[in-house]
Structure 1
């Protein structure tokens, strides 16, 4: 059965481009193209789409309000169509909190040409959304902050995620205490969104969260997020760990790549590191997590039931790279328990 897709966008040009992209794919069926939320509501009830592409900025009722109502009344996988602006990034993050699966960022200039160039990206995100689990997080309570007896700079936590990862990472980091080991994160995200995401996390967490700028020393109680257009690595500098950003080719299909981060952690920190692989499409991070496992690091994968997309963790588990397979709501506590054991084992 083809994937039934509904396009919702107030721009006739974007509706036309997305409609042509969807109609060109043999495994997809365009069931409608709505110019506003009112028409979209009627089409959702009549056509029962498998996936909706939804513009954030619409007149009358904006995309966020429509999404909120949709997720309460008829939860459906949604791919947001966002803008590469600060306001657009904030709205996109809010849409992911409300239950959207993923997003596509419209270029600032040359929108028609840019959207056409995103053909493959758009159809991949639609396919991923059609196989995802719709997660509603509206009204969810904040995770319990876990305590840990730890002081020092030798332990590191490395986290990787993709589709569904913005909310998963947020839940894990919100459970970290202010004295948690330095944490480095690679989340598949385009440039322009990672800085907004880091600020959002920083406002919610007890630890300090920053977008990495390169060269900084890793400090306990801090988390560093890879920029959306750079690979992030961790290097040893004497007794310190420092961040190195590089602008190389994509690795495992991505830049930033989780495999690049995990591989560098394996070399610089060895068994002092903990590797965590959360929800996401594809296999990025699985090879790197296996490297960490082989260095006798503690390695964690999110379980299938709690993943929005059980891709990256699944591949890692199949490779035998996971010492622990856990639901998302148990992940933060388990990580801190492992830190506690590692710290106790290193005391004289």
Structure 2
């Protein structure tokens, strides 16, 4: 099946180059181009493409405003092009919050070493986005917990991104045990750490889960979101402003404590160590041999070693199968695993891999996870 794409960008050169690359695949057809956001909104309505690629800085109407209009009128997966700077991260997070599914750096040199790699990354990403669910179709529910006076209530929900390394093949169904929705387990129990891993669709999922938690949440939380190094500080700051718990980017030597969520820094690996009963974060350089930096498997594997049988692993929406082997290690140590269900996932890759491997103790919708954490932990 051919994927139809609308390209929206104020640069004629970029529109032409992107069109050439996408159409070279034979799987993608560019059905229209627009030079500004207003034209993009109009063509989205008339052409009804499968995917829209969107620049964020354009005349007449910017990309974020265009995404909001498109999500109101005819939700469709949108792939944003952005800069890998702090300001670019902030703008891109606004675009994801408005309803975009994913993003790529607009500077091609930042995502590929050569032309063939670039072509593969762009084509794979568009095909991946075509299979996703646009955020405009699933508005966020009311918050489950009363807000802290010092923290504002979350009113908007972003959607996520993943690293440039392709994992499309890993997202394919595996001939393993079918996912199951487990019954609720007994009384609340204390977990030494709650680990949450996610990728595409992760910011929307993490925001929805974390804003449901009270400031008195009794367990520390470690978060692994596939994101570039320039994006994780801005994302942690955004979550911290919206949540009752404290959220910040992890640093080497950080001590885990209740009510604190630590986000793995982009481009590196985060591990948890437990020496003499003092849990600490270790931040290590990103291993070029690993597709994901940060990697859920690395963090979850360290949790299995540091706190066998005393952690809770949660895998949310995302491309590929990162997290499955880390969950296997946690499960073997006696720790429970939860995974997000297919219906509420933007991309049902990572949670599907966990569920199909028979590792999920509970398969939950996104809206159930926050309240379930409160019910099962507090």
TM-score by length of 1: 0.90
Question: Given that residues 251 and 259 in structure 1 are in contact (C-alpha distance below 8 angstroms), is that contact kept between their aligned partners in structure 2?
Answer: no
Distance (Å, rounded) in 1 between the aligned partners of 2:269 and 2:105: 20
1:156-185 CA deviation, whole Å, 9 max, x = no partner?
A: 000000000111011111111212211001
Please give the root-mean-square deviation of Cα atoms over the aligned residues, in Å. Answer: 2.5
Q: Flag the structure with more relative contact order, 1 or 2, with Cα contacts below 8 A and sequence separation at least 6.
A: 2
Distance (Å, rounded) in 1 between the aligned partners of 2:326 and 2:197: 10
Structure 2 spans left out of the alignment, 5+ residues: 148-186
How much has 1:204 moved relative to structure 2? 0.5
Does residue 346 of structure 2 align to residue 298 of structure 1? Answer: no
Which residue pairs with 1:343 in the alignment?
none
Structure 1 residues 61-140: aligned runs within 5 Å: 61-107=61-107, 118-136=118-136, 140=140
Structure 1 residues 174-323: aligned runs within 5 Å: 174-180=211-217, 181-250=219-288, 253-323=291-361
Distance (Å, rounded) in 1 between the aligned partners of 2:53 and 2:366: 27
SS at match of 1:136: helix
1:51-85 CA deviation, whole Å, 9 max, x = no partner?
A: 00001111110001111010010111100111122
Does residue 178 of structure 2 align to residue 161 of structure 1? Answer: no
How much has 1:144 moved relative to structure 2? 1.0
Change in 2 beyond 3 A, CA 1:177/1:112: closer
Distance (Å, rounded) in 1 between the aligned partners of 2:28 and 2:290: 26
Change in 2 beyond 3 A, CA 1:213/1:142: farther
Distance (Å, rounded) in 2 between the aligned partners of 1:64 and 1:165: 19
Distance (Å, rounded) in 2 between the aligned partners of 1:264 and 1:5: 42
Change in 2 beyond 3 A, CA 1:274/1:250: farther
How much has 1:246 moved relative to structure 2? 1.4
TM-score by length of 2: 0.83
How many pairs align? 337
1:288-337 CA deviation, whole Å, 9 max, x = no partner?
A: 11221222212110001100111110111010110000001110121233
SS at match of 1:79: strand
Structure with greater helix percent: 1
1:35-65 CA deviation, whole Å, 9 max, x = no partner?
A: 1123323432343210000011111100011
